[in-house]
A and B are shown apart, each in its own frame.
Chain A
Amino acid sequence: MDTLSTTTSSSSTVTTFDLAQVPLREVNSALHAPGLSGEFLITGPAGAHNVAVGVNAPVKITVSGHVGYYAAGMNQQAEILVEGNAGTGVAENMMSGTVVVTGNASQSAAATAHGGLLVVHGDASARCGISLKGADVVVGGNVGHNSAFMAQAGRMVVRGNAGHGLGDSLYEARLYVRGEVASLGADCVAKEMRPEHLEELAGLLKAAGYDDDPASYTRYGSARSLYHFHSDNVSAY
């Protein structure tokens, strides 16, 4: 990181990048360094897109401020904290690690994410958890329409309400919603909360820093009636 020495300040524990001074490309490149370790602070994001994408190291990254599209995209291993709001596709296609947004997230949060945990303490907009492939998502507030659309695997927890079309064309992902659901999407149904689900939900809430009563939630999943294409289902298509 010699090239950044004039624009970063290092203490024994935290390396700081000021996006007002350092080009994004250099910041992301530095975060891709082989054998990366330690803690990093990114200041002055000012809504920049693609902040801290493609990180693959067990590091802690704090982004102080609002970010644009795809923050923490394809994250592997890292713990990334966004102190502010996040734009479209935060933690998209995350593989592992943890991404926490203290504010709200725009649409398609955790889209296609395969692993790891996304926590949005505020609201998440439309299509939260779209095509989810194994990651966990916990939203402190509400989620917008078509959340968990075609979600294949993983868990999504909504402490508030869900918009229209929740879980449309859902595969095997499990959804837990505490508040109202405006409407369920095709093939998404409410399901019984068995003990293993209460236990699973308690664990997810704890991981996100909440201690709600899991029994206050409703579980939603796929009715699995659309798993095979047939014209008898034409009204659902």
Chain B
Amino acid sequence: MSTPHSWALRESATFDRAAIAAIDNAAETGLYDIRGWGAKRAVPHFDDLLFLGASMSRYPLEGYREKCGTDVVLGARNAKYPLHLDIPVTIAGMSFGALSGHAKDALGRGASEVGTSTTTGDGGMTPEERGQSKHLVYQYLPSRYGMNPDDLRKADAIEIVLGQGAKPGGGGMLLGQKISDRVAGMRTLPAGIDQRSACRHPDWTGPDDLTIKINEIREITDWEKPIYVKVGASRPYYDVKLAVHSGADVVVLDGMQGGTAATQEVFIEHVGIPTLAAIAPAVRALQELGVHRRPDGVQLIVSGGIRTGADVAKALALGADAVAIGTAALIALGDNSPKFEAEYAKIGSAAGFFDDFQDGRDPAGINTQDPELEKNLDPVEGGRRLANYLRVLTLEAQTIARACGKAHVTHLEPEDLVALTVESAAMARVPLAGTEWIPGAPVTGY
């Protein structure tokens, strides 16, 4: 077939077709691109790490026979009722509003089936979500949409959100297409208008204030519930230290590959740091404060681009106590499935490329408030699929942990890892494969 390449034409690496399309769209509409999903550019990621399986100097555990634990306790530091999860994979915060009611229902079902938590988002807690979720984390966001003390008391944990990986430093925008009467009512705003979610909390600024705010929430809920603090990955060493000083029981760290329902493309792709680069500084902060991997310590949940059990295992090995998945959970529900190929084509997209979550026309029935489209997602079937996927993630992480001789997935450690690239070695603080070299670290010898 004749192609531009076969005509010896050369495409610019700088002004490639995506750049040309973006400029053309900006010139045509006067609007920048707002979209869902997370960063699409290639950044150093967990794929750039490998595990050192056991051999002569380490001995492995028998697959399917010898026990490899997966449970995790979150927030035992201050809370009367810490979360006891069966697996170290949780569901990240995603709002009703951004997601359909069926999607939230399915997330609750899937997570509960395997004994893990799901999380509300901007827009409040729905009865369906609370009802389907065995462990529900209630987000406390700058907008405070739908925030009320009754739901606060119904939560199993409370997550104070400072930011998210897709847009550290940014607020949110739920476009009018998705503001149904129900969504509008929960947010105390008129239906059909674009809704700004603030980027800063309205009644506190900085870590000293946050200390008081965390204590307020503890007082309101009688010190029963773990308090998480979620930050978008930008300066994780300092942010984690300040979160701990502020009194967080759990820190949630979301890298730049973390998803969003609607954010400016320029924000998604150019603000924040990759998940891989964020973990080591966060863990160092916890270690320096003496709260890493201790029963009375502060747990670290890492999110942003987790897809496989290998990703889970690598995050845990680098020091996370658990991970959270968002985009991957939606894919498990059917997002970007080839079975909707024809419907994607009708809205100018394709399976594997669809990211117009902000438009509310998701044929998978996930990123929509359209009651007809929502029917495309059966919450029972979606929940079953998500539970299956979570089981696979857990089994895969166990497989790797056993191969490294670990009787619990959280026993994985940086010593079990090497890096494939100089960049990933520097970011993850593990040696380049076949060497003892960690860029920037003193050479210590074998």
Partners in one complex: yes
Q: Which residue of A lies closest to B215 (CB)?
A: A50
Give every chain B residue within 8 A of A69 (Cβ-Cβ): 203-204, 209, 212-213, 216
Instruction: Answer whether residue B62 sits at the interface, using C-beta atoms and an 8 A cutoff.
Output: no
Say which residue of B143, B144, B220 sits within 8 Å of A53 (CB atoms): B220
The answer to whether the Cβ of A137 comes within 8 Å of any Cβ in the partner chain is no
Closest to A52 in B: B219
Is B421 interfacial (CB 8 A cutoff)?
no
Nearest CB to that of A74 among chain B residues?
A: B149
Indicate whether A172 reaches chain B with its CB closer than 8 angstroms. yes
* A127: chain B residues within 8 A (beta carbon): 202
**Pick from A24, A88, A114, A227: contact of B203, CB under 8 Å:** A88
A123 within 8 A of B: no
* Residues of chain B contacted by A114 (CB below 8 angstroms): 148, 188
Interface locus among A57-65, A128-136, A176-184: A128-136
| Interface positions of A from 127 to 156, Cβ below 8 Å from B | 127, 130-131, 133-134, 149-150, 152-153
Q: Are B203 and A89 in contact, CB atoms less than 8 angstroms apart?
A: yes
Beta-carbon contact of B202 and A53 below 8 Å? no
Alpha-carbon distance A76/B32, docked complex (angstroms): 43
Flag whether A15 is at the interface (Cβ < 8 A): no
B152 within 8 A of A: yes
Judged by a CB distance under 8 angstroms, whether B173 is at the interface is yes
**Given that A88-B203, A112-B202 are contacting pairs, would A230 and B31 also be in contact in the complex, using a CB cutoff of 8 Å?**
yes
CB <8 Å contact, A108 and B202: yes
User: In the complex where A32-B222, A74-B220, A114-B148 touch, is A227 in contact with B194 (Cβ < 8 A)?
Assistant: yes
On whether the beta carbons of A153 and B188 are closer than 8 Å, the reply is yes
B162 CB to nearest A CB, Å: 16
Residue A95 interfacial (CB < 8 Å):
yes
Q: How far is the CA of A112 from the CA of B145 in the complex (A)?
A: 8
Q: How far is A68 from B212 in the complex, measured between Cα atoms in Å?
A: 10
Residues of B near A107 (CB, < 8 A) are 203
Interface membership of A111, Cβ < 8 A: yes
Q: Is the CB of A112 within 8 A of B147?
A: yes
Main SS class of interface, A: loop
A7 adjacent to chain B (CB < 8 Å):
no
Instruction: Flag if B189 contacts A171 (CB, 8 Å).
Output: yes
- Proximity string of chain A (101-131) to chain B, C-beta cutoff 8 Å, 1 when within and 0 when not: 0000001100110100000000000010011
Q: How far is the CB of B206 from chain A (nearest CB, A)?
A: 12
Q: Is the CB of B30 within 8 A of A152?
A: no
State the CA gap A152–B213 with chains docked (Å). Answer: 23
Asked if A191 is at the interface of the complex by the 8 Å CB criterion, the answer is no
Whether A49 touches B215, Cβ cut-off 8 Å, given contacts A153-B188, A227-B193, is yes
The listed residue with most A CB atoms (<10 A of its CB), out of B152, B198, B204, B219, is B219
Assuming the contacts A88-B209, A229-B194, A230-B31, asked whether A53 and B219 have C-beta atoms less than 8 A apart, the reply is yes
Closest approach, in angstroms, between the C-beta of A59 and any C-beta of chain B? Answer: 15
Measured between alpha carbons, how far is A169 from B173 in the docked complex, in Å?
Answer: 14
Chain A nearest CB from B144 CB (Å) reads: 4
Interface size class of A (residues with CB under 8 A): 35 or more
A88 to B203, CA, bound (A): 7
Inter-chain contact A172/B31, CB cutoff 8 Å: no
- Taking the closest CB of chain A, its distance from the CB of B211, in whole angstroms, is 9
Q: Which residue of B lies closest to A172 (CB)?
A: B190
Given A70-B213, A133-B144, verify A232-B30 contact (CB < 8 Å). yes
Instruction: Please measure, in the bound complex, the distance between the C-alpha atom of A107 and the C-alpha atom of B202, giving whole angstroms.
Output: 9
- Contact check: which of B149, B212, B222, B223 meets A70 at CB < 8 Å? B212
Contacts of B188 in A (CB 8 A): 114, 133-134, 152-153
Q: Does A28 contact B (CB under 8 A)?
A: yes
Report whether A131 and B194 are in contact in the complex, using a CB–CB cutoff of 8 Å. Answer: no
Chain B CB count within 10 A is highest, among A70, A107, A172, A231, for A70
- A95 touching B149, Cβ below 8 Å: yes
Q: Are A93 and B147 in contact, CB atoms less than 8 angstroms apart? A: yes
Q: Quick check: is A98 within 8 A (CB to CB) of the other chain?
A: no
Q: Which chain A residues in 8-66 approach chain B with CB under 8 Å?
A: 24-25, 28-29, 32, 49-50, 53-54, 56
Q: What is the CA–CA distance of A72 and B173 in the complex, to the nearest angstrom?
A: 30
- B165-181 near A? 1/0 per residue, CB < 8 Å: 00000000101100000
State in angstroms the CA–CA spacing of A28 and B32 once bound together. 49
CB distance from B204 to the nearest CB of A (A): 7
Contacts of A111 in B (CB 8 A): 144, 202-203
Is the Cβ of B144 less than 8 Å from the Cβ of A131? yes
The smallest beta-carbon distance between A127 and chain B, in angstroms, is 7
Question: Which residues of chain B are within 8 angstroms of A32 by Cβ–Cβ distance?
Answer: 222
A2 CB, min distance to chain B CBs, angstroms = 17
> Beyond A50-B215, A56-B149, is A70–B31 a contact (Cβ under 8 Å)?
no
Give the residue name and chain of the A residue nearest to B143 (CB).
A131
Whether A231 contacts B219 by the Cβ 8 Å rule is no
In chain B, residues 131-155, which have Cβ atoms closer than 8 Å to a Cβ of chain A?
A: 143-144, 147-149, 152
Interface flags for A193-237 (1: CB within 8 Å of B; 0: not) read 000000000000000000000000000000000011111100000
Is A54 in contact with B219, judged by CB distance below 8 angstroms? yes
A95 with B148: CB separation less than 8 A: yes
Instruction: Name the one of A28, A88, A172 contacting B219, with C-beta atoms under 8 angstroms.
Output: A28
Verify B212–A49 contact, CB threshold 8 A.
Answer: yes
Q: Is B17 an interface residue (CB 8 A)?
A: no
- Inter-chain contact A229/B198, CB cutoff 8 Å: no
| 15 cross-chain CB contacts under 8 A | A32-B222, A54-B149, A69-B212, A73-B220, A74-B220, A88-B204, A93-B149, A107-B203, A111-B144, A127-B202, A131-B143, A171-B189, A227-B190, A230-B30, A231-B30
Besides A76-B149, A231-B32, 18 other A-B contacts (C-beta < 8 A) = A28-B220, A29-B222, A50-B216, A69-B212, A70-B203, A73-B220, A88-B209, A95-B148, A95-B149, A134-B188, A171-B189, A171-B190, A172-B190, A227-B194, A228-B193, A229-B173, A229-B194, A232-B30
Q: Which residues of B contact A (CB under 8 A)?
A: 30-32, 143-144, 147-149, 152, 173, 175-176, 187-190, 193-194, 196, 198, 202-204, 209, 212-213, 215-216, 219-223
